Structure 1
Amino acid sequence: MCGLAGLFHPLDPAVPAVRPIRGMTDALAHRGPDGDGFHREPHLALGHRRLSVVDLAGGTQPMSTADGQVTVCFNGEIYNHAALRPLLEAAGHRFRTRSDTEAILHGWTEWGTGCLDRLKGMFAFAVWDRQRGELLLARDRLGEKPLYYTWLPDGRFAFASEMAGLLALPELPRRIDPAAVDDFLALGYVPDPGTIYAGIHRLPAGHFLLLRRGETGRPAPRRYWRPPTAAAAAPADAPAELARRLDAAVRAQLMADVPLGAFLSGGVDSSAVTALAARAQGEGLGGSLATFTIGFPGEADERPLAARTASSLGTTHRSEVAAMDYVAAARGQARIFGEPFGDHSAVPMLAVCTLARRHVTVALSGDGGDEVFAGYRRYAFHALAEGVRSFIPAGARRRVIGGLARLYPKLDRAPRWLRAKHTLTEISLDSALGYYRTVCKLHEERRRELFSPAFRAAVDGHDPSARFGRLMAECDPEDALLQAQYADLHTYLPGDILVKADRTAMAVSLEVRPPILDPELVAWGMALPARLKLQGGTGKHVLRRAMEPLLPSDLLWGRKRGFAAEIGGQFRAQAETVRGRLLGGPMLDSGLFHAPALARLLEEHAAGRLDHAQGLWQLLVLEGFLAAEAGTAGAVLESAPA
């Protein structure tokens, strides 16, 4: 795993100065503590920070072809580089290293942008072709590796693995985007291609950007891969086929010249990956697999189940208890993520990455199983709502069920079966908007109450739900489950899950690999008929069946708790600290919020009348970001809150 950065001026042939590119890579040092490298020539400067994983001696970057015509900076792993090598050698290419990086160099020379269809792995890279005068930026199919870019006021194009690399440039405008703030409070993250800053963009997953020397325009990203939009026929034996495909993906991702381990929770996804990795290690690919678990005191503690699984699989297991102060942790999120990030499971994720990094350089994870094989509970709720929608005309749903939803009390602290308000609301809406309501953290009515009048006007007309309608409309209209999965694969997976994995791991210089997100496996799994993924309200049915020969029944069919933490109780116990932050200078100076509405939110939660834990966490994270930005970024609004 690495960090890359670059500066390119399509019109100015001067050789860029070394100081700016070095400043950019210094800001990415945590992504690559094993060394740095630079390449400068007319129009272009490239910088790289390396975390050595494959070909420790020969994989130094930036890497160029023997004739110096093509140069690459690369972050990630190309798992099929050994299979590509003989194809390229047969075409006349000569390899000088064992590094997977070199496969990109020769692949571009031979196939141009067509190389992206052949590369299997997680990657973000920049290829400069001096002869063609072309700069290619590309990101892997699912968005496992990040890549940010912007245009500077003087006409230069800048890019980096994290926003920190771009923010190292003092001439970069740092104006916060009001629409991004609205998106963050709605979803808990800023979705691609936006960021919290106006003018800084993320290259979307499965896209590339091609810039040319002498070009005066600003080219748009182009898509080279998309997941299935309709289901295919069911395989003859889907569980057996899935077991074979996942085993192949795991074996491919065991490629490393450094110690490798796996995260192991009490869930199906990480346990499946661990079981297959442990079996492969036992067949001669290495010694005992190292596994790592973070637990919480109380019923949510997954350490006992993880320990039993580790024992049955013969792994070398290590675990720790996470006792965390989420109020304090909120202040640190901006440093790790570069922008507000509202998934509080990032805090224990950082803890398990820290534990793993003490023993390994690479860790396998179970990320992607919920999206690909329909593991989230919201998929079952959405399928239920869609079934009701099919029997009740839209007008009646809006009038009758919508009316019931408005009258039904918000019972946040009641047993789950009594909390019907959200379900009734979803059923009353059309499919896409209903699904958006299930993933929304702070609904529009709550956000608008919190916003100052000036900020409310600034985001008037912006609708965070609109992208869900567009995405779901791309899918088979008869397959509601696939529509929801497809939307998540373009929003929640690259915007939350993979951002969380990359940034927390890279903060401690750990590489994380999710074998379930092998693109061929993703395409196959997404195209399975809904009945194979979701049965009787239970998701990941086919994955559970596939793993029955390897994992115990109570793990496969029991309830998964995930990184559970009672953050709401912490916010009540530290109510005065929370109040001081949310009603303090950075929040009110930003011009975003209406102080009395923030105070009401705090009081309702502190008194136990309503559970605002998620909203308070997001506001605390945003406060930490605004505090870090004070005196650096431009004001969100020119006017102060009313």
Structure 2
Amino acid sequence: MRLICGMLRLDGAAATDAVLHRMAAAMTGPGLTPAVSCRLERSLGLAVIDFGGGSAGVVERDGWVIASDLRLDRPDETQEAALLAAIGRHGADFPDHLDGDFAVALWRREAEELWLGRDYIGVRPLAWTFQPGRWFAFASLPKGLHGAGLAPASIDKAAVAAKVVQTYFTGPATGFAEIAYLEAGHSLCVRLGDDEPPRPHRAYRPSPARVGRWRGTPEQAAETLQRLVREAVAARMPAAGPVACHLTGGLDSSAITVLAARHARHHAGKVLALSSLAPMALGPPEQDERPMIAAVLAQEPDIVHRQVDDMLPMPGRAEDADWPGSVIGGADDEMMAAAAAFGADRLLSGVGGDEGASYNGANLYVALLRTGRLPTLARELAARAKSDGVSLPRAIRGRLINPLLPAGLRLRRRRHVGIADPVHGGIRYLAASIRQEVLSRRMPPVLHSNKPADRVRAFADHHIPSRCTYYALLAARHGLAASFPLLDRRIVDFVLSLPVHLFLADGQARQPFRRAMRGILPERVRLARHKVGLFDDRFVRYADHRVDLLALAARLRASSSPRLADIFDMDAIQAGLRLLPQPDQAHRFVRATPADLFGGSPAWVTVFAVQSLIVAWTLSRQPEEEAFGTDA
């Protein structure tokens, strides 16, 4: 695993090793001792931080100086040669012509220009800051910039508020006011003497006109998808040695874990499967993920398994210096630590499956109606009714008629408002003065209409890059890389090419992936429809902390902090916390069906109140204005 960093002095002063080493130190987790390679070219400094013991750091080739965090899927030449060929042939569009995980910096000595590029989906992170008349600096992790005194750590209030509502950051937002991510699938160029910030260039521009154009049978689609998934997992496996995988019991993580185990078996490797589980099973037995995990482990008995109890996020933990308003030390951190202790240098995750390989779009039956696939619609509604154990009229009402109702009527028919509601959803916990700006930054819903533009937006303009970045930040803390086989470019391009009617078959959605996984996944996993989420368990466990959470909310409200008042409605947070049941009554509120929660409000209402409280507490611990060093 690698990280990169560097700076270009815009004032003509010389770059120094000392600054590069400060950046590297800020990005190095406790107990890690990476090799740091630096290169100075007058006003330019580049560095590579290598956690894997590799010999090549910053390299020079054909007039370019290169610092790269680069893994190509199917290289037919050296990685640096492929990178230079892409930028030579395609210029600013070069990130769209490399398949793999990468964040790269290239200095073209002759033109005195610095290029940055990031893979199409943002698997490898890359952040930058521009300080006019002083420097342009970049680093894999935001703390490589603010931790080295190259940018202030002051927060972007609206970005942090938007993350509270939607879990992830939007576009280039990092949560820091003067640090931006280079967005996934973008490049930028900065030149010596520039007095304006660089304007990132969008290289990855998938065309909605090409969506749904594939022609073939469902069986052919399943065969192609299975081959692509097998190849994507194999491309991300180490040549030798262990690898770690997330294993939730769902379709995506289970498929990756099984295929990784089968590959490792033939390459003297081992697989560690990591599962984050609630301390006890909740809800109906058929929705419990434990038996599905057990089915995978029984089928592939040489997988080493580590269960990590979901750690209840609570105020009071150390703040994450890369992810403002968040704390470290939860289950995700513990799984990364377990992967590192196992000797793995990477973790494979099923992120992106819902949007691509195992497409899980809503309202697919409506899409069949709108595209004139009436025989398919009739067949699949009948099959779905049988699969769900309901009457055909009820299936038609729930799967077809209700989604076609006007939005206002649908809202009146709902028992509970959804988390994305722009008035009563998660935004209820934000200060009224910031809500409009948050709504303007908020990511629009995707995978509801299943139209080409909607499907493209899920990859090009939504939460997946921020989610990938989150896991990359966690992994880097332990000297690991995260990789996501189901976001392999060939898989995404293929799934985008599939017409909507191929996503339903046999009375189930998430086709043709389910068919593609015949002979790979245990049938219990391949055909499962629902899992109980961690929200339900957290809802119950937060009840044990009801008194303490309410007391903390009252203290923060009484503190009259201007920063908190600008972001949060502490009265609304207190109201959300009061919906927590008394500890001795909590288990009466466990979810009984996929849609409903017994006892009143859905679990997210109180869980998001606690999450808002955690962010408020974390921000309350920071000084109102962060000091910003000037000596670089």
* TM-score of the pair, normalised by structure 1: 0.77
Instruction: Tell me the distance in 1 between the aligned counterparts of 2:50 and 2:276.
Output: 28
Counterpart position of 1:78: 72
What does residue 93 of structure 1 align with?
none
- Structure 2: which amino acid aligns with 1:583? A
Counterparts of residues 602-617 of structure 1 (less than 5 Å): 602-606=577-581, 610=601, 611=603, 612-617=605-610
Alignment partner for residue 313 of structure 1, among 286, 291, 300? 300
Given that 1:322 and 1:351 are in contact with CA atoms closer than 8 Å, whether structure 2 keeps it comes out as: no
Distance 1:508 1:562 in 2: 29
- Gap change, CA 1:254 and 1:506, over 3 Å in 2: same
Kindly tell me the number of residue pairs found equivalent between the two proteins. 563
What residue identity is the alignment partner of 2:350? G
From 333, 336, 339, the counterpart of 1:353: 336
Q: Match for residue 547 of structure 2? A: 576
Are 1:205 and 2:184 matched, yes or no? yes
What's 2:230 paired with? 247
Are the structure 2 counterparts of residues 624 and 57 from structure 1 closer, same or farther at C-alpha, using a change threshold of 3 Å? same
Residue in structure 2 matched with residue 540 of structure 1 by the alignment: 510
Overall identity of the aligned pairs, in %: 23
- 2:116 maps to 137
SS of 1:75 mapped into structure 2:
strand
* Residue among 480, 499, 507 paired with 1:510: 480
Does the CA contact (< 8 Å) of 1:373 and 1:533 recur in 2? Answer: no
- The one-letter amino acid of 1:235's match is G
The equivalences for 1:192-591 within 5 A come to: 192-229=171-208, 230-236=211-217, 237-256=220-239, 258-282=241-265, 284-299=266-281, 302-322=289-309, 324-328=311-315, 331-332=317-318, 334-335=319-320, 337-340=322-325, 347-359=330-342, 360-373=344-357, 375-376=359-360, 379-380=361-362, 382-383=363-364, 427-429=405-407, 440-441=419-420, 443-445=422-424, 450-452=429-431, 456-460=432-436, 463-464=439-440, 467-468=443-444, 480=450, 482-535=452-505, 538-561=508-531, 564=534, 566-585=537-556, 588-589=560-561, 590=563, 591=565
> Residue deviations 1:451-495, cap 9 Å, x none?
44xxx33554552477538x89xxxx9x63544443332455435
2:60 to 48, 64, 73: 64
180 and 534 in structure 1: CA distance in 2 versus 1, 3 angstrom threshold: farther
Give the distance between the partners of 1:583 and 1:387, measured in 2 at CA: 51
Looking at structure 2, the residues matched to 289 and 596 of structure 1 have their Cα atoms a distance apart, in angstroms, of 48
- Residue 128 of structure 1 pairs with residue 124 of structure 2: no
2:615 counterpart residue number: 622
**Matched letter for residue 267 of structure 2:** L
Greater alpha carbon shift after TM alignment, 513-522 vs 227-236: 227-236
Q: 1:450 to 1:260 in 2, by over 3 A?
A: closer
Rate the CA distance shift 1:464–1:234 in 2: closer, same or farther, 3 A.
Answer: farther
Q: For residues 511 and 181 of structure 2, what CA distance do their matches in structure 1 show?
A: 34
How far the C-alpha of 1:372 sits from its partner, in A, is 0.4
1:12-161 to structure 2, matched below 5 A, reads 12-30=11-29, 33-52=33-52, 56-59=53-56, 61-65=57-61, 69-81=63-75, 83-85=76-78, 100=79, 103-104=82-83, 108=87, 112-113=91-92, 115-161=94-140
Q: How high is the TM-score relative to the length of structure 2?
A: 0.78
Provide closer, same or farther for how the CA distance between residues 351 and 117 of structure 1 changes in structure 2, counting only shifts above 3 A. Answer: same
> Cα offset for 1:582?
2.9
Deviates more, 1:219-228 or 1:113-122: 113-122
Question: Would the alpha carbon gap of residues 336 and 164 (structure 1) be closer, same or farther in structure 2, given more than 3 Å must change?
Answer: closer
Structure 1: give runs of 5+ residues left out of the alignment: 86-99, 392-416, 635-642
- 1:303–1:319 Cα contact (<8 Å) kept: no
Q: Take 1:562 and 1:371, find their aligned partners in 2: how far apart are those partners?
A: 20
**RMSD, matched Cα:** 3.8
Letter in 2 for 1:58: S
Change (3 A) 1:588 1:383: farther
Q: Tell me, which stretches of 5 or more residues in structure 2 are unaligned?
A: 283-287, 373-394, 583-598, 628-632
Residue 537 to residue 215, structure 1, CA distance change in 2 (3 Å): farther
